Amino acid sequence: VDKENSNTAEDVDKWFPDLNIKIVKEIISSGGAFGNISTQNTSVGYLTPREWHKEIKSLMNKKNRVIGSGVKGIESKEEDEETILIDVRNHKECQIGSFAPGISIDPQTKTFAQFPKWVKENSTESGIAPSRESTSNAPSSSLLNNKRILMYCTGGIRCEKASAYIRQMVPENKGIFHLKGGIHKYLEEFGQDALNRNGNDADGGKEGDDVDECL
């Protein structure tokens, strides 16, 4: 932009004829449920793509150890203080692919505005038993209580709000963390070495297969 020769409002209109600036309460609508969450609280619990990679590997290794034992329901003290993995994206997005299928929880929401309801149904604070449609992995009213929680979404924006909301609703937790920059940032760093899984590949498959299609 040549500031010396173009300083009038008319010139600005010529530069950006389709520019439309609006002030909105939320980038992605939650129906107002996250309206009281400050930006200071949304930056808590970040995991870098490299840190996230290690966490997912650890979860997958735990699952493989249980499967490899050949004993159904075998658990160690480490698994009792379990870490749960939540996909904050909508159900259609989750079906395309996810991290660690069989571990990753799909809240089966159609819109982000439905996520707060899912949190209430799956926290002991509400006292409400979730419906069968609430989650395909662990339909329990205490699903979130006293757990270490990992969360991810496409670009990280939904997780910033969602993680802060869970922190409010579930004060009895063992830490709530989310992937900084979301799946996009993770794929930028790991590319074909990403720990992605096809939505139908619940038993593992090969690391890095169809990375663009899966996530």
Residue positions annotated with a catalytic role: 153
22 Cβ contact list (under 8 Å, min separation 6): none
Helices within the chain (DSSP H only): 9-15, 39-42, 49-69, 77-80, 91-96, 115-121, 157-169, 182-190, 211-214
Enter the tokens of residue 57: 């590997």
C-alpha to C-alpha distances, 66 to 62, 73, 140, 147, 197, nearest whole angstrom: 6, 8, 22, 19, 19
Q: How far apart are CA 151 and CA 191, in angstroms?
A: 20
Distance CA 6, CA 195 (A): 50
Which phi and psi (to 5°) does residue 104 adopt? -65, 130
